[in-house]
A = this chain, B = another copy of it.
Amino acid sequence: MACVLGTNRYGKSGIHLLKVTRDGPRHTIVDFLVSVSLEGDFADIHTKGDNSKCLPTDTMKNTVYALAKDDPIISIESFGLRLARHFSTNNPQVALAQVGIVQAPWDRAAVAGKPHPHCFTRGPAESATCTVAITADGAPTTQSGIADLVILKSTDSAFSGFPRDQFTTLPETQDRIFCTSLSVRWDYTAASKGAAVDFTSCRAAIRTTLIETFATHQSKSVQHTLHAMGQAALDGCSAIARITLTMPNKHCLLFDLSRFGMENNNEVFVPTTEPYGLIEATLERC
């Protein structure tokens, strides 16, 4: 029976890179998890076992470390684009070269109250992310993001006025805990693609805006706050065209103390992991 090869890609994931830049006694480090993925003219690999167009994923890995050596690594986006361009330029069979980078945070350790020149402590689980791509004609696309920023507000969050059916037991509440592990990604406008975008400053500005909006918003639902956060990010950073926020609702349930003759005035909570609400939306600039 005949069949046809549809969408296909391959690459290397989990390429863990630590680069130390030693500009005198003061070192800086970056900690990246890089993935490379290629699409292109790979039919013969699949159907004939002909590997003549199959750049080994081991070579992709080597390339990441080799190019890291001399790259200034101004941003994850700039390094990612350089990698993607390398794979695109050197492999005519490649139609799309995609590179993802997840940067783990490290903070400079304090010694005697001052930042130390070569000692670092690991930051939160939060990471800076990007997914960049180069097409065969050299056109780049860049998506940047933040993953796993865990944030909690202990008031100014309500959920009420929702429809009730035969299976509804949730009480309405005017004051609940709102906790989420925010992941967000955004695309840059066509206009800013031509211009030099300062990806790192954009990310910092968007991060601050997202946190401040989350903190100060009078939330009527996760969706309500998600929308306000996305709108504030679009308002605050003209270089981006679109933003997608994913907000799992990390429920903190009020523990029922009334069974012991005690009142629980929104003080004692049980954080749970399963099940969890999952809310996602994209906001686009008009």
Contact partners of A149 in chain B: CB under 8 A? 121
Q: Which one of B65, B224, B283 contacts A6 once the chains associate, using CB atoms below 8 Å?
A: B283
Q: A4-B286, A6-B284, A16-B270 are in contact. Are A54 and B221 (CB under 8 A)?
A: yes
| A38 CB, nearest partner CB in chain B, Å | 11
Question: Quick one: copies of this chain in the complex?
Answer: 4
Q: How far is the CB of A202 from chain B (nearest CB, A)?
A: 16
CA of A125 to CA of B273, assembled, Å: 17
Whole-angstrom CA separation of A261 from B63 in the bound complex: 13
Cβ 8 A contact of A215, one of B116, B125, B259: B116
**A252 contact set on B, CB distance < 8 A:** 18
Q: Lowest 7 CB-CB distances: which A-B pairs, in order?
A: A49-B220, A8-B281, A122-B150, A119-B215, A6-B282, A14-B274, A46-B227
- The stretch of A132-140, A157-165, A193-201 that contacts the partner chain: A157-165
Q: Which residue of B lies closest to A255 (CB)?
A: B65
A and B contact pairs by CB, cutoff 8 A, 25 listed? A4-B284, A6-B242, A11-B277, A14-B276, A15-B275, A16-B275, A18-B252, A18-B270, A19-B267, A22-B154, A22-B267, A46-B224, A50-B220, A52-B161, A52-B163, A57-B275, A57-B277, A58-B168, A66-B260, A91-B163, A109-B215, A111-B215, A116-B215, A122-B124, A122-B125
Asked if A109 and B57 sit within 8 Å, CB to CB, the answer is no
Minimum Cβ distance to chain B for residue A186 (Å): 12
Additional A-B contacts beyond A29-B154, A46-B226, A120-B152 (10; CB < 8 A): A11-B278, A16-B271, A16-B274, A46-B223, A56-B159, A57-B275, A57-B277, A65-B270, A69-B264, A118-B215
Q: Is the CB of A6 within 8 A of B281?
A: yes
Using an 8 Å CB-CB cutoff, how does the interface string of A1-35 with B read, 1 for contact, 0 for none? Answer: 11111111111111111111110000101010001
A6 to B128, CA, bound (A): 24
Considering the chains assembled together, what is the distance between the CA atoms of A161 and B25 in angstroms?
26
Which chain B positions have C-beta within 8 A of A242? Answer: 6
Cβ contacts under 8 Å, A11 to chain B: 277-278
